[in-house]
Structure 1
Amino acid sequence: MKRILSAPLIALALASAHAVESPAEKDAIAMAERGASFVKAHGKDEMMKKIAAKDPDFVQGSLYVDMRDIHTGIVLAHPFNPTIVGKDLTDVPDASGKKYRREIIELAAKKGKGWVDYMYKNPETGKIEPKTTYILRVGDVVLEAGIYKK
Structure 2
Amino acid sequence: MIRVLSIVLLVLVGGSVTAQAADKPTAPQVKDLTMKAAAVVETLGLDRARERFHPDGEFKFGEIYVNVIDYNGTWLIYPPNPKNEGKSVLNVKDAEGKLLVQEIIATARGMGEGWVQYHWLNPATNTIQPKLTFVKNVPGRNVIVYVGLYK
TM-score bracket, shorter-length normalisation:
0.7 to 0.9
Residues 48 and 67 in structure 1, CA contact (< 8 A), matched pair in contact too: no
3-state secondary structure, aligned to 1:28: helix
- Determine which of 29, 32, 49 is the counterpart of 1:47: 49
Tell me, in whole angstroms, the C-alpha distance in 2 between the residues paired with 1:84 and 1:142.
17
Cα shift at 1:35 = 0.8
Cα shift at 1:25 = 0.4
Tell me, in whole angstroms, the C-alpha distance in 2 between the residues paired with 1:82 and 1:45.
13
3-state secondary structure, aligned to 2:68: strand
Tell me, in whole angstroms, the C-alpha distance in 2 between the residues paired with 1:84 and 1:43.
19
Tell me, in whole angstroms, the C-alpha distance in 1 between the residues paired with 2:24 and 2:41.
26
3-state secondary structure, aligned to 2:43: helix
TM-score normalized with structure 2 length: 0.79
1:128 matched to 2:128? The reply is yes
Tell me, in whole angstroms, the C-alpha distance in 1 between the residues paired with 2:35 and 2:56.
15
Tell me, in whole angstroms, the C-alpha distance in 1 between the residues paired with 2:114 and 2:93.
19
Letter in 1 for 2:118: Y
Tell me, in whole angstroms, the C-alpha distance in 1 between the residues paired with 2:70 and 2:51.
15
Letter in 2 for 1:135: V
Q: Deviations over 1:67-120 (max 9, x none)?
A: 0012x1100011112232111111121111000110000110111100100111
Cα shift at 1:48 = 2.1
Cα shift at 1:46 = 1.1
Letter in 2 for 1:129: Q
Cα shift at 1:61 = 1.2
Letter in 2 for 1:25: A
3-state secondary structure, aligned to 1:21: coil
Tell me, in whole angstroms, the C-alpha distance in 2 between the residues paired with 1:29 and 1:39.
15
State which structure, 1 or 2, has the greater radius of gyration over its C-alpha atoms: 1
Task: Within 5 Å, give how 1:84-103 maps onto structure 2.
Answer: 84-103=84-103
TM-score normalized with structure 1 length: 0.80
Any unmatched runs of 5+ in structure 1?
1-19
Q: Name the count of aligned residue pairs.
A: 129
Letter in 2 for 1:130: P
3-state secondary structure, aligned to 2:69: strand
